[in-house]
């Protein structure tokens, strides 16, 4: 299981409909809106998660 870096929801990598690759790592999203937000500013989303 992965954690959506935008909303922090748990996402199953095997069934996730939305994913992005950033710096050679895949990120999985619960919904299109989270993917769009991540793609717009991935550093912000990753920084807020820490």
Domain count, the chain: 1
Q: How confident is the model at residue 47 (pLDDT cuts 50, 70, 90)?
A: confident
**Percent of the chain surpassing pLDDT 90:** 90
| Residue 21 lies in domain | 2-48
Q: Is the pLDDT of residue 49 over 70?
A: no
State pTM to two decimals.
0.88
Q: How confident is the model at residue 48 (pLDDT cuts 50, 70, 90)?
A: confident
The vertex-28 CA angle with 27 and 30, nearest 5°, equals 145
Q: Scan for tokens 């990598």, then name that residue.
A: 13
pLDDT at 32: 97
Q: How confident is the model at residue 31 (pLDDT cuts 50, 70, 90)?
A: very high
């Amino acid at each position: 299981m992965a954690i959506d870096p935008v909303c922090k929801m748990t996402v199953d990598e095997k069934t996730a409909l939305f994913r992005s690759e950033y710096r050679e790592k895949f990120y999985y999203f619960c919904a299109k809106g989270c993917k769009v937000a991540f793609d717009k500013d991935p550093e912000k989303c990753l920084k807020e998660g820490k």
